[in-house]
Amino acid sequence: MNPLKAFFATFSTSELIDKRQKTSLYDIELHTLQGKKLDWVHFKGKYILIVNVASKCGFTSQYKELQTLYDTYKDQLEVIGVPCNQFGHQEPGDASEIAEFCEVNYGVTFTITEKLDVKGSNQHPLYKWLTQARKNGFKNTKVKWNFQKYLVNPNGQLVDYFYSITKPNSRRIVTYFK
């Protein structure tokens, strides 16, 4: 048998398709709330908790818990807050209003990105990666509400997700850092 055919014979067709379609989180272009391109190199080698956030939501108090989580585990964890206005129009502010809200009310020092669509026809590539198994290699999910959390391991692989009701300091999340 031809060596190239022998090599490809060791993979199923679905494995080959999955390997071609899977993309890396680190290849996705993303900007901070200040409009600067996010440099993923600062996040490599750490867990990354990505959370769609909103300032006028029943879960908004989780900003405080996210900041505490970040402060406690910042040697091994980065938190990225992603403002989104798609759930009940609960994030109506512009970049400066969001930044001021986060700083004044919760002392947020973790990364906050530009406002994004996390679902629908204008879904940002970050959330396409987070929600599509063929891109993330893990699982298909849907973003159900504000403060849904996605956990990426230090190798850049999606390993878990948590609905809004899961508090940032829950054992389900913190267990990854112990």
In contact, 5 and 20? CB cutoff 8 Å: no
The number of angstroms, rounded, from the C-alpha of 106 to the middle of its chain's C-alpha atoms is 20
Q: What is the mean pLDDT of residues 36-64?
A: 96
Which residue did the predictor score with more confidence, 2 or 96? 96
Please report the pLDDT score of residue 13 as a whole number. 44
Overall average pLDDT of the 146-158 stretch:
97
Nearest-angstrom CA–CA distance, 148 and 84: 11
Average of per-residue pLDDT across 135-153:
97
Which segments of 107-157 are extended strands (E)?
111-112, 149-152
Q: How many CB atoms lie within 10 A of CB 177?
A: 14
User: pLDDT averaged over the chain?
Assistant: 91
- Dihedral sign from CA coordinates of 127, 130, 135, 141: negative
pLDDT-derived band at 123, boundaries 50, 70, 90: very high
Single out the catalytic residue among 57, 80, 82, 84: 57
Q: Is 57 among the residues known to form the active site?
A: yes
* DSSP letter, residue 36: P
Q: What's the average model confidence in pLDDT over 120-149?
A: 97
Report residue 138 CA to chain centroid gap.
14
pLDDT of residue 15: 46
- Tell me the pLDDT band of 178, cut-offs 50, 70 and 90: confident
Match 């006028």 to its residue by tokens: 56
Q: Which long-range contacts (CB under 8 A, 24 or more apart) does 12-19 make?
A: 18/134, 18/137
Query: Average pLDDT of 54-58?
Result: 97
pLDDT of residue 23: 80
Do 103 and 64 contact (CB within 8 A), yes or no?
no
Which residues, other chains included, contact 120 with Cβ-Cβ below 8 Å and sequence gap of 6+? 86
pLDDT of residue 133: 95
Helices 95-106, 62-73: crossing angle, 10 deg rounding: 70
Which pair of structure tokens corresponds to residue 154?
A: 């230090």
21 pLDDT band (50/70/90 cuts)? Answer: low
Judge whether residue 89 has pLDDT over 70: yes
Which pLDDT band, with edges at 50, 70 and 90, does 17 fall under? very low
- Owner of token pair 């906050």: 112
Res 128 pLDDT > 80: yes
Reply yes or no on whether the pLDDT at 138 is more than 90. yes
Percent of the chain with pLDDT over 70: 88
CATH architecture assigned to 3-177: 3-Layer(aba) Sandwich (3.40)
